[in-house]
Protein backbone atom coordinates (compact mmCIF):
# COMPACT_ATOMS: atom_id res chain seq x y z
CA UNK A 1 0.00 0.00 0.00
CA UNK A 2 2.83 2.38 0.85
CA UNK A 3 4.41 1.78 -2.55
CA UNK A 4 1.13 2.68 -4.20
CA UNK A 5 0.89 5.88 -2.15
CA UNK A 6 4.49 6.74 -3.09
CA UNK A 7 3.81 6.04 -6.77
CA UNK A 8 0.66 8.16 -6.78
CA UNK A 9 2.36 10.97 -4.87
CA UNK A 10 5.34 11.00 -7.23
CA UNK A 11 3.07 10.85 -10.26
CA UNK A 12 0.97 13.74 -8.98
CA UNK A 13 4.14 15.74 -8.25
CA UNK A 14 5.49 15.08 -11.75
CA UNK A 15 2.17 15.93 -13.37
CA UNK A 16 2.07 19.18 -11.41
CA UNK A 17 5.57 20.06 -12.63
CA UNK A 18 4.64 19.38 -16.24
CA UNK A 19 1.28 21.21 -16.10
CA UNK A 20 2.84 24.24 -14.40
CA UNK A 21 5.68 24.38 -16.94
CA UNK A 22 8.38 23.92 -14.30
CA UNK A 23 10.20 21.31 -16.41
CA UNK A 24 11.08 24.12 -18.85
CA UNK A 25 14.48 25.51 -17.80
CA UNK A 26 13.77 28.90 -19.39
CA UNK A 27 10.68 29.28 -17.19
CA UNK A 28 12.72 28.59 -14.05
CA UNK A 29 15.51 30.93 -15.16
CA UNK A 30 12.85 33.59 -15.78
CA UNK A 31 11.87 33.31 -12.12
CA UNK A 32 15.50 33.71 -11.05
CA UNK A 33 15.98 36.77 -13.29
CA UNK A 34 14.96 39.37 -10.71
CA UNK A 35 16.36 42.36 -12.58
CA UNK A 36 15.23 41.43 -16.10
CA UNK A 37 12.02 39.94 -17.44
CA UNK A 38 10.95 38.34 -14.13
CA UNK A 39 8.42 35.49 -14.30
CA UNK A 40 6.58 35.03 -10.94
CA UNK A 41 4.87 31.75 -11.93
CA UNK A 42 7.32 29.58 -9.95
CA UNK A 43 6.44 31.53 -6.79
CA UNK A 44 2.77 30.70 -7.42
CA UNK A 45 3.62 27.00 -7.87
CA UNK A 46 5.60 27.05 -4.62
CA UNK A 47 2.71 28.79 -2.85
CA UNK A 48 0.31 26.13 -4.14
CA UNK A 49 2.64 23.39 -2.89
CA UNK A 50 2.78 25.00 0.55
CA UNK A 51 -1.01 25.23 0.63
CA UNK A 52 -1.24 21.48 -0.01
CA UNK A 53 1.56 20.63 2.45
CA UNK A 54 0.54 22.86 5.37
CA UNK A 55 -2.63 21.02 6.53
CA UNK A 56 -0.84 17.65 6.57
CA UNK A 57 2.12 19.10 8.43
CA UNK A 58 -0.21 20.76 10.95
CA UNK A 59 -1.97 17.43 11.49
CA UNK A 60 1.36 15.62 11.87
CA UNK A 61 2.54 18.14 14.46
CA UNK A 62 -0.77 17.92 16.33
CA UNK A 63 -1.10 14.13 16.38
CA UNK A 64 2.61 13.24 16.35
CA UNK A 65 2.18 10.59 13.66
CA UNK A 66 2.15 10.30 9.90
CA UNK A 67 -1.21 9.79 8.23
CA UNK A 68 0.35 7.06 6.04
CA UNK A 69 1.48 5.08 9.12
CA UNK A 70 5.13 5.72 8.30
CA UNK A 71 7.69 5.69 11.06
CA UNK A 72 8.46 9.39 10.91
CA UNK A 73 9.12 11.69 13.81
CA UNK A 74 10.11 15.28 14.40
CA UNK A 75 13.64 15.89 15.65
CA UNK A 76 13.82 16.28 19.42
CA UNK A 77 17.00 18.35 19.49
CA UNK A 78 17.12 20.88 16.67
CA UNK A 79 20.27 20.91 14.56
CA UNK A 80 22.14 24.21 14.25
CA UNK A 81 20.13 26.41 11.94
CA UNK A 82 23.00 27.63 9.80
CA UNK A 83 26.41 26.03 9.48
CA UNK A 84 29.21 25.97 6.91
CA UNK A 85 27.93 22.81 5.18
CA UNK A 86 24.44 24.26 4.79
CA UNK A 87 25.75 27.51 3.28
CA UNK A 88 28.12 25.68 0.92
CA UNK A 89 25.41 23.23 -0.17
CA UNK A 90 22.89 26.02 -0.72
CA UNK A 91 25.43 27.98 -2.79
CA UNK A 92 26.25 24.98 -4.96
CA UNK A 93 22.59 24.10 -5.42
CA UNK A 94 21.66 27.71 -6.24
CA UNK A 95 24.48 28.14 -8.74
CA UNK A 96 23.59 24.89 -10.49
CA UNK A 97 19.88 25.72 -10.46
CA UNK A 98 20.52 29.18 -11.87
CA UNK A 99 22.90 28.01 -14.60
CA UNK A 100 20.87 24.99 -15.71
CA UNK A 101 17.36 26.13 -14.80
CA UNK A 102 16.73 22.60 -13.54
CA UNK A 103 16.43 21.16 -10.04
CA UNK A 104 16.22 17.45 -9.12
CA UNK A 105 12.43 16.93 -9.42
CA UNK A 106 12.02 18.46 -12.89
CA UNK A 107 15.31 16.82 -13.98
CA UNK A 108 13.73 13.39 -13.65
CA UNK A 109 10.75 14.53 -15.72
CA UNK A 110 13.10 15.95 -18.34
CA UNK A 111 15.10 12.72 -18.25
CA UNK A 112 12.02 10.89 -19.49
CA UNK A 113 12.03 13.22 -22.53
CA UNK A 114 15.55 11.95 -23.39
CA UNK A 115 16.92 15.50 -23.82
CA UNK A 116 20.71 15.47 -23.59
CA UNK A 117 20.70 18.44 -21.18
CA UNK A 118 18.64 16.43 -18.71
CA UNK A 119 21.09 13.54 -19.01
CA UNK A 120 24.02 15.83 -18.23
CA UNK A 121 22.17 17.31 -15.25
CA UNK A 122 21.17 13.90 -13.88
CA UNK A 123 24.76 12.64 -14.26
CA UNK A 124 26.05 15.72 -12.38
CA UNK A 125 23.38 15.26 -9.71
CA UNK A 126 24.35 11.60 -9.20
CA UNK A 127 28.03 12.59 -9.04
CA UNK A 128 27.11 15.14 -6.37
CA UNK A 129 25.25 12.49 -4.37
CA UNK A 130 28.32 10.25 -4.58
CA UNK A 131 30.65 13.06 -3.50
CA UNK A 132 28.50 13.94 -0.50
CA UNK A 133 28.46 10.28 0.56
CA UNK A 134 32.22 10.07 0.12
CA UNK A 135 32.99 13.19 2.16
CA UNK A 136 30.38 12.59 4.88
CA UNK A 137 31.73 9.24 6.05
CA UNK A 138 32.03 9.04 9.84
CA UNK A 139 35.57 9.46 11.16
User: In the structure, what pLDDT confidence band is assigned to residue 70 with cuts at 50, 70 and 90?
Assistant: low
pLDDT of residue 85: 81
List, as one string, the DSSP characters of 11-69. HHHHHHHHHHTTT-HHHHHHHH-TTSS--THHHHHHHHHHHHHHHHHHHHHHHSS-TT-
Task: Report DSSP state, residue 78.
Answer: P
User: In the structure, what pLDDT confidence band is assigned to residue 69 with cuts at 50, 70 and 90?
Assistant: low
Q: What is the pTM of this model?
A: 0.67
Of 41-50, 104-113, 125-134, where does mean pLDDT reach its minimum? 104-113
Please name the helix (run of DSSP H) or strand (run of DSSP E) that holds residue 118, with its range, or none.
helix 116-135
pLDDT at 5 over 60: yes
Amino acid sequence: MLLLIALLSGGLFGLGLVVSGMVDPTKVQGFLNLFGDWDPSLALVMGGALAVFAPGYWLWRRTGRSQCALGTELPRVPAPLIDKRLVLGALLFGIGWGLAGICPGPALGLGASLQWQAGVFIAAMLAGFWLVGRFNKPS
